[in-house]
A and B are shown apart, each in its own frame.
Chain A
């Protein structure tokens, strides 16, 4: 029964996301199956969590999931009418089939790992707690949760993309189930591998390159087994996947007249601050890269509208928190000039910690060495806007 409910929840997320994808791309644009699934999931989780939050301002109880389900089905209907074309496909080579089987086995292992491990600390007490409380309160976070100083440790000010995706599962399951809620996170791993395959193919023109990169993703312990990985229920990994999608789309959008990817970039960009508070920093970086691409490719000024959805989400969430009198966690200092100038002495220890992280083989394996060599190759093509976008996006997150 739980498996059916999970299928229903995931199905509606994907259907809603696919509907949005068909609205964003032209019908003549060809998208691979892996791309269609990846963008459908990312747009679906973003849209459903936003709808639960926005509709939750007006209704709660049974009406809330019913309304969101209706919107999902309507979007699915739109998707059915405006299907995205699949690319012309030649028969896969035996090496590609071999790599594909490896990737499938790795995905199965990540699902297994996810279910043998419990939620990590933040996964339970920062994220799942919100889904649990909202579910117990008819789909809406209780006003007392925001103002309860005793629960400030759970960061009521954190955004709701992950908790409300879990909430969507709880609605389908009919109970708050921490075991089933974990299924979301290996799904993000699946989407990550699909994006790597798709972007690898678009970057190099060869499917096997993307498959090989996706197969090696599994061998980064920080992605598969470490704290904050795809199995612990933290928002960091999903945030990384949204960032990958944002920058990947922007890279593809550097080609002249590729508006489809620019619209996808704008959608993924908007969702960054909705996944995690730190997503605001990534939003600033990705938005700056977007502005650079607009200026460098001499696009019309209307393309700056791509920044507006993200700004609306940022401002809407801040306004909501202020209306709910949300307590501010003591874990973070206010972002202002005084804080910056009073803590400048931390620059060197922070840089030292960053360098130590790069050669922390236990957590990252050889990942950063491979990235460094990749960057060295990229420097040879530094004149292209796409390469500059990739370099800036990579350096800024470091």
Chain B
């Protein structure tokens, strides 16, 4: 009996009980805020892409429209995507668009500033299906494209443009 209730054993139990209580006290607020931060969303097949696009542009359910646009273009031609170097939103938008642009090959241009005129001038329009501007200004000489929310514009390089 003496060994069963020794000081060492009591200290051992108190140490682990203390750690358990402190652990719960520290972690529960964090987990509670994580659990209550978002409501249950509607179950769409592209729900993550939709969320990203809504977050970056404000447009709802845009993934399906983007896929339709890219699928209507010649699959053998590239999609050119312009993003801003100093803008995480632009970069994220560019990568999400690249994801949705399959099966097209894509080329991502990350540039300083918001005017991609110089880079665009080097592109051979015969090899390009569309140019995508992610939180960038479309050059004035390029016709207006399809705009999604604020910051995403897709210009199809039709024969007329070329």
Contacts and interface: CB of A to CB of B under 8 A. Distances in A.
B10 interface: no
Interface stretch (B29-37, B123-131, B152-160): B29-37
Contact of A117 (B26, B38, B49, B92): B38
Nearest to A119: B48
A129 B99 contact: yes
A116 interface: yes
B46 to A, nearest CB: 6
A112 B35 contact: yes
A37 interface: no
A144 B105 contact: yes
Given A176-B45, A179-B43, A366 B22 contact: yes
A225 B103 contact: no
A371 to B, nearest CB: 11
A49 to B, nearest CB: 21
A149 interface: yes
Contact of A150 (B43, B48, B98): B98
Given A113-B34, A148-B105, A176-B45, A125 B20 contact: no
Contacts of A40: none
A32 interface: no
Interface in B5-56: 15, 19-20, 22-24, 26-28, 30-31, 34-35, 37-41, 43-49, 51-52
A300 interface: no
B54 to A, nearest CB: 10
B100 to A, nearest CB: 10
Interface residues of A, number: 50
Interface stretch (A199-207, A215-223, A245-253): A215-223
Q: Which of A123, A133, A136, A179 has the most CB of B within 10 A?
A: A179
A149 B51 CA distance: 26
B102 interface: yes
A185 B3 CA distance: 46
Interface in A334-374: 361-362, 365-367, 369-370, 373
Contacts of B44: 179
Interface in B92-147: 92, 95-96, 98-99, 102-103, 105-108
A123 B15 CA distance: 38
Given A177-B45, A221-B34, A224-B34, A118 B102 contact: no
A328 to B, nearest CB: 16
Contacts of A123: 48
A125 B95 contact: yes
Interface string A128-160: 110011001100001011001111011000000
Given A142-B103, A179-B43, A365-B23, A225 B34 contact: yes
A153 B108 contact: yes
Contacts of A2: 43
A221 B49 CA distance: 25
B39 A118 contact: no
Nearest to A121: B92
Interface in A147-193: 148-151, 153-154, 175-180
B26 A366 contact: yes
Contacts of A220: 27
B47 A178 contact: yes
Interface in B70-95: 78-79, 81, 92, 95
B107 A149 contact: yes
A235 interface: no
A107 B7 CA distance: 37
A382 B123 CA distance: 65
A124 interface: yes
A216 B20 contact: yes
A26 B38 CA distance: 47
Nearest to A118: B48
A317 interface: no
B81 A150 contact: yes
A115 interface: yes
A151 to B, nearest CB: 6
Report which residue of B24, B30, B38, B98 has the largest number of chain A beta carbons within 10 angstroms of its beta carbon: B30
Interface of A: 2, 109, 112-113, 115-119, 121, 123-125, 128-129, 132-133, 136-137, 142, 144-145, 148-151, 153-154, 175-180, 216, 218-221, 224-226, 361-362, 365-367, 369-370, 373
Given A144-B105, A178-B46, 19 more contacts: A109-B35, A113-B35, A116-B38, A124-B96, A133-B102, A144-B103, A145-B102, A150-B81, A151-B106, A153-B98, A178-B48, A180-B43, A219-B27, A219-B31, A221-B34, A225-B31, A365-B27, A366-B22, A373-B19
